[in-house]
Amino acid sequence: MRWNALRITLLAGALLSAPFVLAQERVLPQSQILTVDRDLMFSQSLFGARVAQELAAEEAVLLAENRRIQAELTAEEKALTEKRSDMEADAFRAVAEAFDARVVQIRTEQDAKAANLEQRRQREQEAFIRVASPILTTLMRDAGASVILERRQVLLRDPAVDITSLAIERINKTLGDGRSQSTVPEDQ
């Protein structure tokens, strides 16, 4: 009977203290060196999620455009192949070379569009770090740290000095999705 009363007391104590523990903010470690996962900080922030959503929409448009172009070129190539028997060799060669040149030009244009999307992704990540830097600087100062290192570049570390989750929380509170921040112009 005494054992059951003790178990009930311990269980009740654990249940009553759980909301208090869950409601506490993450503790900022006091350390000269902190680590952060830059990519995770970006991708799990509201800012990074917005950028990922915008870029995914643009990539979907580009993929649809590529599929449409591919279907058109495939149909054009088939029609050209069917005309081959009715054309003289020199005339066919000229038409085929013009078609090939157009295909190369279209491929170059579509590759440039994909490269522009990747460049925008990189510019957005750079803009994110730029606008998040004051928040990271405050975290660094509050922790008494001298440096924040990229987590993946550290061979061994105490997980307690990783502030990625805390940085994401503070960045989300301060920046939200970043729409109000001056980041990267749409046309670049």
Tell me the whole-structure pTM to 2 decimals.
0.73
184 is a domain residue: no
Does 112 fall in a domain?
A: yes
181 token code pair: 């921040």
Task: Give yes or no for residue 16 having a pLDDT over 80.
Answer: no
Domain membership flag for residue 181: no
* Residue 186 belongs to some domain of the structure: no
Per residue in 83-104, pLDDT tens?
888 889 899 999 999 999 999 9
What confidence tier does 2 reach under pLDDT thresholds 50, 70, 90?
A: low
Q: Is residue 188 part of a domain?
A: no
- Do 168 and 47 touch, CB atoms closer than 8 A? no
Q: Higher pLDDT residue, 12 or 80? A: 80
Domain count, the chain: 1
Largest CA distance in the chain: 104
- Residue 182 covered by a domain: no
Q: If we measure between CA atoms, which residue out of 69, 43, 188, 185 comes closest to residue 117?
A: 188
Owning domain of residue 157: 2-175
Q: CB of 136 within 8 A of CB of 23?
A: no
- 30 inside domain: yes
**172: which residues sit within 8 A by CB, 6+ positions away?**
45, 46, 47
Question: Considering the domain boundaries, does residue 187 fall inside one?
Answer: no
Three-state DSSP class for 33? Answer: strand
